[in-house]
Amino acid sequence: MFALNNKISLRQVQALLFLEIFGFGVTALPRRTAEHAAQDGWIGVIIAVVAAVLLVILITFIIKANIGQTFYDYTKRLFGRFLASFFCLLLSARFILLAAFYLRLFAEITQSIMLPTTPYIVIFIAVLALAAYGASKGIEARGRLAELLIIIVLLPLIFVFGISSREIDFSNLLPMMSASPSQIGKAGYYAFFSFGGMETLLLISPFLARKKGVAKSAIGTIAVMGGFMVIITAVTIARFGAQNVVAHNWPVLKMMDTISLPGSIIDRQGALIMTFWIISAYAIINAALFFSSLLLKDVAKKGKHIHYILLCVPIIAIIANIPNNIDQVYSWFNLYNKTFGITTMVGLPVLIFIVQLIRRGRDRVAKQDVNS
């Protein structure tokens, strides 16, 4: 009546993408990059942003060619049924693992900054229940919610960082370009993992009404978000100095916590940044649940979406419970990113892209043959 059912607008796609990637991407980013390139870490982020933009160009090409079709549909057309199912399971596993890691990370951070004695499992259940509830409401509600949440996330963030600029010593970024290209490259490589979650774009095609502007808005989002990430990385490194950034597990959160707000309405905003934090956690875990269950449903070809969501919830909770401590979480996460993560995040889209290109070339040739 007013808008199409089960479709979302490009603005909503942008908001979803931003929320899914940004929150978790940025919290550890300054540390990850400073570990490898010290005060030049932010240059690494720029490299990562360029890589991410290239990847998103690839992905938007794929979804534009397959607008209105599910991931399973178009991979089936390109690769056949067996490989399509395999890809679906692969991506679904990717999302489940991603959600599990992020869930564990969220629980760790929550425990460390605000609920020291609450057991993990309670936080897991609470967040997963929330995410599952959101996922069960379908793509339209997700899109609309994202439009609201992004305001709740961004306004305080901009405010806090605006205020923090008074206290920042930008000389901490000096000397510039002292890190070697390989160090910066390495920082960029690790920073690139912060864009994990971008591959949800591959699955967005059935929910789009038309292809006009898809590429522009997706690339724009990634670029703007990349800009934010570069700024936040630079500001955080400038605030603490490269050596100290490395010592904090979550430098961005630490920074938001310790900025003194004017007017002394709030003494410490440690719990307030929870706003930013829980919304980010909700967004990515919700997306992972939504899409992984959707993929499973496509493969199984029966049942209701909600059943698959409920199936994924305990799996995620169990996986999230496996690591023993935060160091293990991070080392496993790195390992995961370098192997499985990079294959699904970069390998899969590139593969689909190449096959799509070949297909298109062949179709064109065939069409010319018919015409002549």
Partner 1 sequence: MRNKTLIVKFLTLALLFVALLAFSWDRTEMENRAFVITIGVDKGEELPYKVTMSILDAEGFEDGEDARVLRDAEGECPASAMGAVGATISRSIYFGHTKAIILGAELLKNADALSKTVDVLSKNNDINIRTVVMATDKTAAEIMNAKPETQQMLGMYLSGFYSKSNTNTAALVVKADLESLVADFRLSGTSIIPKVTIDKDDEIKIGGVALIKNHALTGFLTPDDMAGYLWMRENAVGLQLTSDSATIKIERSKPKISFVEYSGTLLCYAKIEAVAGLEAGKNNPQVVEEFQRKIERDITETFRIFQEVYISDGLELREILRKHYPKLYDKYGGDWEKTFAHIRFVTKVDLEIRH
Partner 2 sequence: MKIYNKLDDNINYFDTIFDNCNDIVRRKVPIGASLQRFAYIVYIDGLVDRQLIEDRILTQTMASAQRLPEQFFNEPLSLLETLKEGGLTTADLKEEKDLEAAAKAILTGDVAVFVDGADTAIIVSAKGFPNRGVNEASIEVVVQGSNEAFSDVMRINTALLRKRVRDTKLKVKQSIVGRRTQTNIALCYLDDVVRPAVLEEVEKRLANIDIDGILDAGALEELIEEDFSSPFPQCQITERPDKAASGILEGRIAILVDNSPTAILVPCTMNSLFQASEDYSQGWEIMSFVRILRFAAAFFALALPGLYIAITTFHPNMLPTVLAFKMAAARENIPLPAVMEVVMMEFAFELLREAGLRLPRPIGSSIGIIGGIIVGEAAVQAGIVSPIVVIVVALTGIASFAIPNYSLVSGFRLSKFLIIGLSAVLGILGFWMALIIILIHLASLKSFGLPYLFPFAAGEINGFSDFKDTIFRAPIIFMKKRPIYANPEQCDRQVVNHLGNWHKEE
Residues at the site binding partner 1, with contacts judged by CB under 8 A: 112-119, 122, 125-126, 129, 171-172, 174-175, 178, 240-241, 243-244, 247, 254, 258, 260, 267-268
Q: Pick from 53, 68, 69, 137: which binds partner 2 (CB under 8 A)?
A: 137
With contact defined as beta carbons under 8 Å apart, do 252 and 27 qualify?
A: yes
Cβ at position 286, least distance to partner 2 in Å: 9
Distance CA 261, CA 269 (A): 8
The item of partner 1, partner 2, none sharing an interface with residue 174, based on CB under 5 to 8 Å by kind, is partner 1
Q: Would you state the structure tokens that stand for residue 234, as one six-digit string?
A: 């630079």
| DSSP assignment string, 206-223 | GGBS--TTHHHHHHHHHH
Q: Pick from 57, 83, 141, 346: which binds partner 2 (CB under 8 A)?
A: 141
The item of partner 1, partner 2, none sharing an interface with residue 119, based on CB under 5 to 8 Å by kind, is partner 1
Distance CA 184, CA 205 (A): 35
Say how many C-beta atoms besides its own lie within 10 A of residue 304's C-beta: 11
Cβ at position 125, least distance to partner 1 in Å: 8
Cβ at position 44, least distance to partner 1 in Å: 19
- Secondary structure of 120-184 as H, E, C letters: HHHHHHHHHHHHHHHHHCHHHHHHHHHHHHHHHHHHHHHHHHHHHHHHCCHHHHCCCCCCCHHHH
Of the pair 24, 282, the CB lying nearest partner 2 is at 282
Paired with 8 in beta bridges are: 208
Cβ at position 270, least distance to partner 2 in Å: 7
At position 372, the amino acid (one-letter code) is S
Q: What are phi and psi of 251, to 5 degrees?
A: -60, -35
Task: Please report, as residue ranges, which positions from 263 to 292 form the binding site for partner 2 (by CB under 8 A).
Answer: 264-272, 274-275, 278-279, 282
Asked if 123 interacts with partner 2 (CB under 8 A), we say: yes
With contact defined as beta carbons under 8 Å apart, do 153 and 23 qualify?
A: yes
Q: By three-state DSSP, how is residue 8 classified?
A: strand
Asked if the bond preceding 175 is cis, omega within 30° of 0, the reply is yes
The item of partner 2, partner 1, none sharing an interface with residue 125, based on CB under 5 to 8 Å by kind, is partner 1
Contact pattern for partner 2 over residues 209 through 248, marking x by CB under 8 A = ----------------------------------------
Cβ at position 173, least distance to partner 1 in Å: 8
Contact residues for partner 2, defined by CB under 8 A: 1-3, 9, 11-12, 110, 114-115, 118, 122-123, 126-127, 130, 133-134, 137-138, 140-145, 147-149, 264-272, 274-275, 278-279, 282
